Chains A and B, each alone.
Chain A
Amino acid sequence: MVAEVKQNRTLVTSAVFQSWLNRLGPLLGLVLVIVIFSILMKTPERFLSPNNLRIVLSQTVIVAIGAIGMTMIIISGGIDLAVGSTIALTGVITALGIHSGLSPSLALASGILVGGLVGIINGLVITRLKVVPFIATLGMLGVGRGTAKWVAGEQTVNMADTWLNQLLVMFPNPPWLMVAPGVWITIVLAIVAAVVLRNTVFGRRVFALGSNEAAARACGIATDRLKIWIYGLAGLLFGLAGVMQMSRLRQGDPTVAAGSELDIIAAVVIGGGSLSGGEGSILGSMIGALIMAFLRNGCQQVGWPNYIQEIIIGAIIVVAVAVDRWRTSRAVI
């Protein structure tokens, strides 16, 4: 009897410890990265300066907004490989919109909506044609990229200067914003998405779908419709990421963001998302995105060559997933 209670207590404490580890793991990683670079750097005051923080935050926005959508998809047990293509396509669409005389807000809306449309098509292919998400979105990776090059006439699309170009500048106007407007947009979106996932019926259904699809269906969740919603919503976010990309370059570039889907997936995975579904958090994904941006920024300022940075990011992804596996295997026991 006593032994049983004792065992229970250790189980409880280890569960508490684990849930803290889940939450703090990525944050700890981020702090570690920043501390290590501050030590390595000859000019740590530059690395830790508000200006550098502004730079890193602006550089993170595109991956972070993509990661919000990707977190929803990965929690639901899906995957989207077409994000990079969607970003290029929606960036080009927005640039073309401004170029052809649309008002910036309409161009912005059209970019976001095209992203949503791409997402809905992905959802339809996955549910109606019964193609697994990996393949469906692999197909869309090609279709989206090709369409982007096609509508852009195989060139970059230059357009007039509008307020859209100010979304990711380092020194925002008005100055009291402190960081680029795009950073604030990302923070607001992240909070909304976190609340939706944690506290709404929709959010709980996304988790249920990813944990056990058959059980979710048996509980009366219309899983197919839910999936289309998830991919559609995520698509809207990818569309916004495309607008941000265009804002950064001040042009629509159909070749941009190739491979950024892998950065985005890596951000979610480093942040504790599980590719087998049912797990993941918006906060974790945001920290994952920041870790990668700080790594890139730090490596460049220490003066390390690009390949070291690639090796480190690769290793961190593997370590993060290994920790994830270790956690799940402990949880099963």
Chain B
Amino acid sequence: MRRNLVLLVSITALLYLVGCTKPTGGNTAGKKLTIAVIPKGTTHEFWKSIHAGSNKAAQELTAQGTDVEVIWKGPLREDDREQQIQVVEGFTTQGVSGLVLAPLDDRALVRPVEDAKRANVPTVIIDSGLQTDATISFVATDNRKGGSLAADRMGELLNGKGKVLVLRYAEGSASTTEREEGFLTELKAKFPGIEIVSSDQYAGATRDTAKRASENLLNRFGDDVQGIFTPNESSTAGMLLALQDINKAGKISFVGFDASQSFIDAMRAGQLHGIVVQNPFNMGYLGVRTMVDSLLGKSVEKKIDTGVMLVTKDNMETPDVQTLLHPPLDQYLK
């Protein structure tokens, strides 16, 4: 028994030693660059586009002579900070060339990212901000602008007067908080005739929590409000399901955020009156490109905007919007 224990301990120790002797950093020229791309979750269609975009960047760069491999790994739930921290730490000890990270929280991920920097693994932040200057660049949507685009659309739909409900996404998520603030600020400044009846409830991380919150809020405010804004894919999906269930879809002006097939169908059916669409494909693409540029010693911008756009029934069939709504996922995801 005791001998077994000794054996176990020595094997474990040996494994650790082997693990530690692996080269860290490894960003020497001519070698293969491994870039770990860490999304907030893997189940939303949004993240699939980021995945496809980063694969495109890797393929292009490899074709241009810089051998780049993208490793895709994230927490499965969008609110599991602990799991995402472990993913970042795992890649740090594994010694990848660089991290491209969409942090779940603007503070919780600061320590692991700073640790990674100390271990010579640089980080590019995508999608959502991080409260540290230990990163190379911030490649993201201008979320505030996205929120104000939604507010402009809402004001136009309601002709500048009426009551509006905002269902927030989740506590501590920087990107969605900026969208909500952008929406509220713009609405107050430009459309003083519009009243916000509720903006302090949260949808939570999944479609299920969002649907439940929406049902409860709609029962309370459903007959009073003329407009609704939701700041991301899951909250928009949950609100849409709740509206469809009570046959109110289409009767309330509804502006959402992010794109998915069901939103496009809903927009065609007149149940959704506008979505603010980011360019996740471009975000994944620029995230990896920026990381590689920096590893190759080129100077990169501290902040890179990947673009937002308001999509409505009127412009949804134009080619520009179509490529935005249907990024070439199949081509880059196998």
Contact = CB atoms under 8 A, between A and B. Distances in A.
B220 A149 contact: no
Contacts of B204: 306
B77 interface: yes
Interface string B193-206: 00000101110101
Most buried by A among B198, B200, B206: B206
B215 A59 contact: yes
A256 interface: yes
A183 to B, nearest CB: 14
Interface in A279-313: 296-297, 300-301, 303, 305-306
A270 interface: no
A155 B43 contact: yes
Chain B interface bracket (under 10, 10 to 19, 20 to 34, 35 or more): 20 to 34
B77 A51 contact: no
Nearest to B219: A52
A75 B75 CA distance: 36
B139 interface: no
B29 interface: no
Interface string A123-161: 000000000000000000000000001000011101000
B208 A245 contact: yes
A296 B216 contact: yes
Contacts of B247: 171
Interface in B238-293: 241, 245-247, 261
B313 interface: no
A51 B215 CA distance: 10
B212 interface: yes
A258 interface: yes
A171 B245 contact: yes
Nearest to B220: A301
A305 B200 contact: yes
Given A154-B76, A155-B42, A171 B246 contact: yes
Interface residues of A, number: 35
B206 A255 contact: yes
B179 interface: no
A296 B246 CA distance: 19
A253 interface: yes
Nearest to B206: A256
Contacts of B219: 46-47, 49, 51-52, 55, 297, 301
Given A43-B220, A255-B43, A169 B245 contact: yes
Interface in B208-226: 208, 211-213, 215-217, 219-220
A46 B241 CA distance: 20
A250 B211 CA distance: 11
B43 A303 contact: no
A57 to B, nearest CB: 11
Q: Which 8 A-B pairs have the closest CB atoms?
A: A300-B216, A301-B220, A255-B77, A170-B245, A52-B219, A55-B215, A156-B43, A297-B216
11 contacts: A46-B219, A52-B219, A171-B247, A248-B208, A248-B211, A249-B208, A249-B241, A253-B208, A255-B41, A300-B201, A301-B216
Interface of A: 43, 46-47, 49, 51-52, 55, 58-59, 149, 154-156, 158, 169-171, 245, 248-251, 253-258, 296-297, 300-301, 303, 305-306
